[in-house]
Structure 1
Amino acid sequence: MKEALVSAATGALQPVLGKLAALLSDDSKLSHGVRSEVELHTSELAAIEAFVLMKSTEEDPSTQDKAWMKEVRELSYDIEDDLDELMAPVGGDKPPAKPNGFMDKIKVMLDRTKAHHQIVKAIDELKKKQLVHVAKRYKIH
C-alpha cells in the first residue's frame, strides 16, 4: 500500500517536471517574469518529489503523510492538465515559418502574448490553490 501511494505521487510528479522543463527549454520563448515563475514552481515541485521519495524509505508513513502524498498526486494531475492546455498554443499551433505579411506577424505576436498571459494566470491559480491547502492544513482562517 505504502509503495503504491509513493509511486503514484512521484509518478504523477515526473511528467509535470518534464513538461515544465520543456516549457523552460531554449525553444520556448517565455518572458522573463513568466520564466522565473515557472523556474520557481519547478524547483518547488522537485523538492516535493525529493520529500516524497524520502518518505518512501519509511517503514510506515503517518496518516498525515499518506494524506499529503495523496494531495500531491491530485495536485500533480491538475497541474499536468493545465500545462497540457497551456502548452498547446505555445508549441502545438506553430505559426508559419515565415509569416506572409504584417497581419500574420501581428497574429503570431498576439497568439504568443495570449499564451503567456494564460501561463501567468495558471501560475497565479496554482499559488491560490497552494495557499488554500496550507490554510486548511494549519487551520488558518
Structure 2
Amino acid sequence: MILPIITYPNKQLKTISRTVTDFDEELHRFLDDMFETMMQSNGIGLAAIQVANPIRALILCIPDDEGNQEKESLIEIINPVIHNPQGTTLYQEGCLSVPGFYEDVERFETLTLHYQNRHGETCVMEADELLSIAIQHEIDHLDGK
C-alpha cells in the first residue's frame, strides 16, 4: 500500500521518534508499505516519520552502478545508533518531504551503525559514501531534524 508522505512545513516532521519494541506482523507490513511508497516516489531512503509514524525505523535502497534499485538491496534499519563516525564529506541532498529542494549538507564520511532488523535481531554495519550519507539523513528525520 502506498502511504502519503508528509511534507514540510508539516509540524509532524519535528517529532522525535520512539524506540520500536514490537517486531510483529504489523511492523513487517508497515516496512513493506514504506518500501512501496519509497519506490513509487523515486527515493533512496525513507524514515517512518515521513509517513506519519513516529517510530525509529527507516529503509534504504541505494542504487547500483547502473542506477537500479532492487528489493534485494533494501536495508531495513530499526532503532539505529551511530558509532565511530569519522571524516567529513559534503553532499547535495534532496528529500521526499521537501520536494524539489536540494542543499549541500556536511556529513560524516564513514560510520559504524548498530541497529535491529525487522525480526529484532541486532546488526552492525560499516557504512561509507552514499550509504553513510543516507543513514545520517534518515536518522535526522527520526530525531525531528
Shorter-chain TM-score tier: under 0.3
Given the two structures, how large is their TM-score scaled by the length of structure 2? 0.22
Given the two structures, how large is their TM-score scaled by the length of structure 1? 0.23
Of Structure 1 and Structure 2, the greater strand share is in 2
Give the number of the structure whose alpha-carbon radius of gyration is greater. 1
Of Structure 1 and Structure 2, the greater helix share is in 1
